[in-house]
Amino acid sequence: MVSTLQYNIALTQLKGIGPILAKNLLAKFGSAEAVFSESAVALSKTIGIGTLLSKEIISSRQQALDIAEKELSFIQKNGIIPLFFTDKDYPFRLKECIDAPMMLFAKGCTDFNSGKFVAVVGTRKITSYGQKLCEEFVSRLSANHPDVTFVSGLAYGVDVCAHKKSLEAKVPTIGVVAHGLDRIYPSVHQSVAKKMVENGAIVTEYLSGTKPEATNFVQRNRIIAGICDAILVVESPQKGGALITAEFANNYNRDVFAFPGRVGDVSSEGCNQLIFKNKAALIQSAVDMENFMGWEADKEKTIKQPKIYFENLSAEEQKIIALLTKEKELHINTIATKTSFSISTLSSLLVEMEFKDLVRCFPGNKYQLI
Task: Report pLDDT for 218.
Answer: 95
Burial of 122 (0-12, 13-18, 19+ CB in 10 A): buried
Provide φ and ψ at 174, rounded to 5°. Answer: -115, 130
Q: Which CATH number fits domain 105-296: 3.30.110.30, 3.30.750.24, 3.40.50.450, 3.40.190.10?
A: 3.40.50.450
**CATH 1.10.150.20 residue ranges in the chain?**
4-78
**Which band of pLDDT confidence, cut at 50, 70 and 90, is reported for residue 370?**
confident
| Euclidean distance between CA atoms 359 and 361, whole angstroms | 7
Task: Report pLDDT for 340.
Answer: 87
The answer, yes or no, to whether residue 58 has pLDDT greater than 60, is yes
**CATH 1.10.10.10 residue ranges in the chain?**
310-369
- The DSSP line for 210-233 is ----HHHHHHHHHHHHHT-SEEEE
Question: Tens digits of per-residue pLDDT, 14-36?
Answer: 999 999 999 999 999 999 999 99
Q: What is the CATH number of domain 4-78?
A: 1.10.150.20
| Euclidean distance between CA atoms 277 and 269, whole angstroms | 12
SS3 174: strand
Residue whose C-alpha is closest to residue 279's, from 236, 241, 249? 249
Question: Tens digits of per-residue pLDDT, 144-195?
Answer: 999 999 999 999 999 999 999 999 999 999 999 999 999 999 999 999 999 9
Give the type of residue at 326.
Answer: K
Q: Which residue would you say has higher pLDDT here, 363 or 266?
A: 266
- Cβ neighbors of 336 (< 8 A, separation 6 or more) are 96, 342, 343, 346
- The DSSP line for 97-151 is STT--SEEEEEE---TTSSEEEEEE--SS--HHHHHHHHHHHHHHHHH-TTEEEE
| Euclidean distance between CA atoms 217 and 222, whole angstroms | 9
**Class of the domain covering 310-369:** mainly alpha
Mean pLDDT across the stretch 110-134? 95
Question: Tens digits of per-residue pLDDT, 230-272?
Answer: 999 999 999 999 999 999 999 999 999 999 999 989 999 999 9
How many CB atoms within 10 Å of residue 183? 14
CA atoms within 13 A on the CB side of 321: 21
Question: Tens digits of per-residue pLDDT, 267-305?
Answer: 999 999 999 999 999 999 999 999 999 887 454 443 444
SS3 188: helix
Percent of the chain with pLDDT over 90: 78
Question: Tens digits of per-residue pLDDT, 335-353?
Answer: 988 888 888 889 889 988 8
**Which band of pLDDT confidence, cut at 50, 70 and 90, is reported for residue 311?**
low
CA atoms within 13 A on the CB side of 45: 6
Cβ 204 vs Cβ 175: under 8 Å = no
SS3 4: helix
Cβ 173 vs Cβ 197: under 8 Å = no
Task: Report pLDDT for 77.
Answer: 97
Mean pLDDT across the stretch 111-140? 96
| Euclidean distance between CA atoms 171 and 132, whole angstroms | 19
- The predicted model scores a pTM of 0.81
Residue whose C-alpha is closest to residue 229's, from 94, 344, 339, 349? 94
Reported in sequence order, the residue ranges of 177-305 that DSSP labels E, i.e. its strands, are 200-204, 230-233, 255-258, 281-282
